[in-house]
Amino acid sequence: MSAVRPVRRSLVVVGAGPRGTGVLERIAANARGLDGGSGSLDLDIHLVDPFPPGGGRIWREDQSPLLWMNSQAQDVTMFTDDTVDLEGPVLPGPALHEWAGLDGRVFPDRRRQGGYLRWVYEKAVADLPAGVVVHHHARRALRLSGTRRGRQQVWLEGRPRPLTADAVVLTQGHLDAEPDDEQRELSAYADRHGLVHLPPDFTADSDLSRLAPGQDVIVRGFGLAFVDLMVLLTEGRGGRFEGDRYVPSGREPVLHVGSRRGVPYHAKIGYDWDAGSGDRPPLPRFLGPAQIDGLLARASGYDFRRDVWPLVDKELGYAHYHRLFTAHPERTAVAWTDFEEKYAAAEPLSAELRALVAASVPDPADRLDLTGLDHPLDGVRHSSPEALQDALRDYIGADLDRRHDPAHDPDLAVFLGLLSVYGQLVRLGDLGPWWHGFFSYLASGPPGPRLRRLLALSRAGVVRFLGAGLRVSAEDGVFRATGDTVPGAVLEARALVEARLPQPTLARTRDRLLRALHAEGAAATPTGLLAVDPADGRILHRDGSAHPRRFALGPHTNARGAGAFTRPRTNSPTFRQNDATARAVLDLLRALDPSPAAA
Ligand SMILES: Cc1cc2nc3c(=O)[nH]c(=O)nc-3n(C[C@H](O)[C@H](O)[C@H](O)COP(=O)(O)OP(=O)(O)OC[C@H]3O[C@@H](n4cnc5c(N)ncnc54)[C@H](O)[C@@H]3O)c2cc1C
* Residue 4: pLDDT band with limits 50, 70, 90: low
Give helix 309-327 / helix 410-425 axis angle, nearest 10°.
150
For the segment 537-562, the average pLDDT, to the nearest whole number, is 95
- Looking at the predicted structure, is the pLDDT value of residue 34 above 60? no
For the segment 477-502, the average pLDDT, to the nearest whole number, is 97
538 Cα–ligand 1 center, Å: 20
Q: Of the given ranges (209-218, 398-407, 427-436, 478-487), which has the lowest mean pLDDT?
A: 427-436
Phi, psi of 43 (to 5 degrees): -145, 135
Atom index in ligand 1 nearest the CA of residue 203 equals 1
Which one of 48, 58, 418, 440 would you pick to mutate in the ligand 1 pocket, going by the greatest count of ligand atoms within 8 A of its CB? 58
Q: From edge to edge, which strands make up the β-sheet containing 167-170?
A: 132-137, 43-48, 9-14, 167-170, 546-552, 538-540
Q: Of the given ranges (31-45, 70-84, 382-396, 541-555), which has the lowest mean pLDDT?
A: 31-45
56 Cα–ligand 1 center, Å: 7
- Is 426 or 347 the better-scoring residue by pLDDT? 347
* Residue 426: pLDDT band with limits 50, 70, 90: confident
For the segment 12-33, the average pLDDT, to the nearest whole number, is 95
Q: What angle do CA 89, 69, 537 make, to 5 degrees?
A: 40
DSSP strand E in 215-364: where? 216-220, 240-242, 245-247, 254-258
* Residue 593: pLDDT band with limits 50, 70, 90: low
* Residue 40: pLDDT band with limits 50, 70, 90: low
For the segment 271-275, the average pLDDT, to the nearest whole number, is 87
> Residue 569: which region, alpha, beta or left (left: phi > 0; alpha: psi -120 to 50)?
left
- Looking at the predicted structure, is the pLDDT value of residue 16 above 80? yes
CA torsion angle 89 49 164 515 (round to 10): 110
Q: What angle do CA 469, 463, 490 make, to 5 degrees?
A: 45
Indicate the length of the chain as a whole number: 599
Atom index in ligand 1 nearest the CA of residue 556 equals 26
CA-CA distance, 550 to 144, in Å (whole number)?
10
173 Cα–ligand 1 center, Å: 5
pLDDT of amino acid 39:
52
131 Cα–ligand 1 center, Å: 29
* Residue 594: pLDDT band with limits 50, 70, 90: low
Name the residue at shortest CA distance from atom 34 of ligand 1: 15
For the segment 237-256, the average pLDDT, to the nearest whole number, is 97
The SS3 assignment for 481 reads strand
Q: Which of 186, 75, 71, 62 is nearest to 115 (CA)?
A: 62
pLDDT of amino acid 430:
77
DSSP classification of residue 309: H
Beta-carbon contacts of residue 76 (< 8 Å; ≥ 6 apart) = 69, 95, 96, 97, 113, 116, 565, 566, 567
For the segment 475-496, the average pLDDT, to the nearest whole number, is 98
Q: Within 10 Å of residue 384's Cβ, how many Cβ atoms?
A: 11
581 Cα–ligand 1 center, Å: 18
The end-to-end CA distance of the chain, in Å, is 26
DSSP strand E in 228-364: where? 240-242, 245-247, 254-258
CA-CA distance, 16 to 13, in Å (whole number)?
7
Chain segment 165-196, per-residue pLDDT in tens: 999 999 999 999 999 999 999 999 999 999 99
Which one of 64, 121, 172, 205 would you pick to mutate in the ligand 1 pocket, going by the greatest count of ligand atoms within 8 A of its CB? 172
* Residue 6: pLDDT band with limits 50, 70, 90: low
The binding-site residues of ligand 1, defined as CB within 6 angstroms of any ligand atom, are 14-20, 48-51, 56-58, 69-71, 140-141, 171-174, 202, 501, 511, 513, 554-555, 564-565
pLDDT of amino acid 529:
94
> Mean pLDDT for the chain?
94
Q: How far is CA 259 from CA 203, 383, 396, 435, 514, in A?
A: 17, 19, 15, 17, 31
* Residue 597: pLDDT band with limits 50, 70, 90: very low
pLDDT of amino acid 580:
98
Burial of 139: CB neighbours in 10 Å, binned 0-12, 13-18, 19+: middle
229 Cα–ligand 1 center, Å: 18
509 Cα–ligand 1 center, Å: 15
pLDDT of amino acid 537:
98
pLDDT of amino acid 5:
58
Q: Which of 351, 280, 270, 290 is nearest to 318 (CA)?
A: 280
Gyration radius of the chain over CA positions: 26
> Residue 469: which region, alpha, beta or left (left: phi > 0; alpha: psi -120 to 50)?
left
452 Cα–ligand 1 center, Å: 27
- Looking at the predicted structure, is the pLDDT value of residue 330 above 60? yes
- Looking at the predicted structure, is the pLDDT value of residue 3 above 60? no
Q: What angle do CA 303, 309, 311 make, to 5 degrees?
A: 115
- Looking at the predicted structure, is the pLDDT value of residue 32 above 80? no
Burial of 345: CB neighbours in 10 Å, binned 0-12, 13-18, 19+: exposed
- Is 557 or 275 the better-scoring residue by pLDDT? 557
DSSP string, 534-576: TTT-EEEBTTSPEEEEEEE-STTBS--TTSSPBPTTS--HHHH
* Residue 1: pLDDT band with limits 50, 70, 90: very low
- Is 216 or 598 the better-scoring residue by pLDDT? 216
Atom index in ligand 1 nearest the CA of residue 225 equals 1
pLDDT of amino acid 315:
98
* Position 171, amino acid: T
269 Cα–ligand 1 center, Å: 24
519 Cα–ligand 1 center, Å: 24
Range 274-304 burial, b when 16+ CB lie within 10 A, else e = eeeebeebebbbbbbeebbeebeeeeeeeee
Which one of 135, 155, 174 would you pick to mutate in the ligand 1 pocket, going by the greatest count of ligand atoms within 8 A of its CB? 174
Atom index in ligand 1 nearest the CA of residue 139 equals 43
pLDDT of amino acid 599:
41
Atom index in ligand 1 nearest the CA of residue 173 equals 27
Name the residue at shortest CA distance from atom 50 of ligand 1: 564
The percent of residues in the chain predicted with pLDDT above 90, rounded, is 90
CA-CA distance, 193 to 210, in Å (whole number)?
15
Chain segment 73-97, per-residue pLDDT in tens: 999 999 999 999 999 999 999 999 9
CA-CA distance, 230 to 307, in Å (whole number)?
38
Atom index in ligand 1 nearest the CA of residue 512 equals 41
57 Cα–ligand 1 center, Å: 7
